[in-house]
Amino acid sequence: MSVDTDQPETLVGDDPHLKKEFGTIGLLFTAIGSIIGSGWLFSSLHASSMAGPAAIISWAVATVMFLFIGYTYAELGVMLPRSGGVARYPHYAWGSFASYSFGWVTWLACASVASVEVSAVLTYASSYLHWLEHGNGTLKPAGLVVAIVLLGVFVLINFFGVRWFARINNVLVWWKLGMIVLVIVAVMISAFHSGNFSAHTATGNGFAPKGIKGAMEAIPAAGIAFSFLGWRQGIELAGETDNPRRNVPLTLLGSLVICGILYILLQVAFIGALDPSALVHHGWANVGDAIKTGSDAGNFSPLAALATFLGMGWLAGLLYADAFISPGDTGLIYVSVTARMSYAMGRNRNAPEVLAKVNRNGVPWPSLILAWVVGCIFFLPFPSWQSLVSIVTSLTVLSFGSGSIALLTFRKQLPDLDRPYRTRAAWVVGPLALLATNLIMYWAGWDQVWKMMAAVALGYVFLAIFQAIDKGRAPKLEFQNGWWVLVWFAGIALVSYLGNYSGVSGKSNAGEADWYGFNGGIVANVILTIIVFALAWFCQLSPKRAHEILGPVDGMAPTDGAAPAAGH
């Protein structure tokens, strides 16, 4: 049924059929389960090969960066708990064009993650089931069938609703946490060579063989940033938790701290367990060769190969089993999140109305089907796990950037809205979060940035088609308030092009133009951050218009100036 474009508030809130069945542990474990996916199985190897022992710094810096980004969303998630919130807050602050821009980027990134996790499952399995993948990591025909079916199983589980999903996830997360702790302890007890942290090798010497530049490049390129992306579930599912004030901040910050500590310890254990003589011979760039055991396992299943190398066949067996559980659970979560994102865009009316429909279990089932169809496309013969991870990371981090700006925009735009939780030092945290967002994308390199921008441009083609076909339902773009998004995207591309990060493994470290070095790149991103904040602040919707879009909200002062309703 067509919806009058003069009534934008009718689809702004969440559908009442969505179930609020995520408790404190359920929401926290959803984020932790989403964070601990395929990243921890691969990233210790990739980070070591790119940064050497300085990979420890990479993990620590990434943890702090995502804490800044996540903290900006703590106030937003409690103030306006909405399913698919990352795509919906820009709608309230800058209107439909900004909302669509971030919604498209977020949805595309989420839709690909489940496929990446399924691919990781099959990559580990291909160490002993050689009929699944080719040597370059692409799927064979039989592997493609298995991948499509496995993704379909994720969709089916989500179809039965939040309660089933949460029960399964809670059990799997306990397993995943136990496995990481077990690997850390077992590997450290089996072998720990402190000299590895300052070794002189064939491809680089000392703690940071490629300097601080290499350590920062590893954050997006080695899968480190990818390993943290799941913190967002505290926002995406905020509309389905029973106590947002308590559960959302705890989920956002708690999941990052817990997983950050575990990741750092795992990286320390991995580096310390390497055989010193093999490390000196092969070097950090070829560190996978140092844990081979007469097969190609070092390329496909690094932690299992390391366990085998150390003589712990039992641990290798558990890791092969976990290679199904950890990525599988994360894929299960991301199917749910992808459906919530297209649901949110349907509620915002910048996507077809059918995507906002939910079944009696409170599940947006058309969006689930769409997530499965699009996810299957990513199983086509793309390159390795690491290459896919880089572009997914860039898209996802880009979508996070709007939260830091919306946090400050709402302070002026919606001062009457009840804020049960307030982000402290918001004027410090917000700019630092946006700077962290820009830097992660910059360190990903030009080769990833241009692909990301091509994906963004494709989204605008779809927007134009939707606006032309569904004129009766599509909202006004409010481009006069959202044009700053294009400036930001163009700025990201320009800063990356002029920088000295290529993002291409095996090429020189220089980017396309190589105008400035490491410090110059930071300065360029600081300038970009300031410009984006200023433009977004200037372009924000009027308070009256923001009230119109939000409609009745607990704790919001009515637009006629009456006293605000009591907050919960």
Q: What angle do CA 245, 249, 251 make, to 5 degrees?
A: 115
Task: Check pLDDT > 80 for residue 271.
Answer: yes
Where residue 81 falls among pLDDT bands split at 50, 70, 90? Answer: confident
Position 240 scores a pLDDT of: 63
**pTM of the prediction?**
0.82
Position 342 scores a pLDDT of: 80
Q: Are 452 and 394 in contact (CB under 8 A)?
A: yes
| Yes or no: domain 18-397 corresponds to CATH 1.20.1740.10 | yes
Task: Check pLDDT > 90 for residue 481.
Answer: yes
Where residue 33 falls among pLDDT bands split at 50, 70, 90? Answer: confident
Tokens of 155: 């969709």
Residue type, 385: W
Q: What is the pLDDT of the chain when averaged over all its residues? A: 81
DSSP labels, 420-465: SS--TTHHHHHHHHHHHHHHHHHHH-HHHHHHHHHHHHHHHHHHHH
Position 381 scores a pLDDT of: 62
Tell me the pLDDT tens digit for each residue of 335-387.
877 887 787 777 767 677 788 788 777 778 888 888 888 888 877 765 555 56
Tokens of 124: 């580990």
Tell me the pLDDT tens digit for each residue of 138-178.
778 888 888 899 888 888 877 776 566 667 777 888 888 99
Where residue 472 falls among pLDDT bands split at 50, 70, 90? Answer: low
Where residue 264 falls among pLDDT bands split at 50, 70, 90? Answer: very high
Task: Check pLDDT > 50 for residue 418.
Answer: yes
- Give domain limits for the chain: 18-397
Position 155 scores a pLDDT of: 83
Tell me the pLDDT tens digit for each residue of 311-329.
999 998 898 888 888 887 7
Q: Report the alpha-carbon distance of residue 219 to residue 227 in Å, rounded.
A: 10
CB within 8 A of 275, min separation 6: which ones?
A: 191, 193, 290, 309
Q: Biggest alpha carbon distance in the chain?
A: 75
**What value does the mean pLDDT take over residues 191-220?**
87
Nearest to 68 by CA among 403, 523, 409, 495: 403
Where residue 201 falls among pLDDT bands split at 50, 70, 90? Answer: confident
Task: Check pLDDT > 90 for residue 417.
Answer: no
